[in-house]
Amino acid sequence: MKYIVGIGGVTNGGKTTLTSGLLRSLPNCCVVHQDDFFKPQDQIAVGKDGFKQWDVLESLDMEAMLSTVRAWLDNPPKFARAHGVPVQPGLPDTHILVLEGFLLYSYKPLLDLYSRRYFLTVPYEECKRRRSTRSYEVPDPPGLFDGHVWPMYLKYQREMEEGGVDVVYLDGTRPRAELLHQVLEDLHNSLLNCS
């Protein structure tokens, strides 16, 4: 069985932390990070807001990401071995791919591939505080969070909801261990219902 899990949501909401926990906890589990598909900095447009448009779908090579997902779908064990993930023989033939990113549910060709979609949320103040403590390869210019990052998050969340994308909302302020336990339990129940 092939099972694709989306871990989406707000910037600094805990997506990567949750994904890392899933990778440690689930056998035959691979990950694809949306951040690995950013276009080069010189290809990122400057918007009307005066900021480089990192938080829009056009800043990502989504066709390359989709191609990577298709490579996994074609042969999960081969994909796992190529990415250094041990394939555990003797387990039920279940392979899990976690897609992690901030715009996972905005790219239509990926939408139907998910078996389960999660969406982490964090209140504005906490998100801004977390973002200010992170260091990025390309540092945030002053005003980026309020002028671009947060408005784009609200825009894409609204579009996702208006489009009827079915997600399980997760509170990113809850303790990491609780979130991981909640998702593992939900996935376990979902996988049992699939088999």
Residue numbers annotated as active site: 35
Residue 160 CA to residue 182 CA, distance in Å, equals 23
Q: Which amino acid is at 181?
A: H
Residue 151: which residues within 8 A CB-CB, separation 6 or more? Answer: 49
Q: Which amino acid is at 162?
A: E
Q: Which amino acid is at 28?
A: N
Q: Closest Cα to residue 11, out of 162, 112, 136?
A: 136
Residue 193 CA to residue 112 CA, distance in Å, equals 18
Cα 24 to Cα 13, 20, 129, 142, 191: the distances in Å are 19, 6, 28, 37, 18
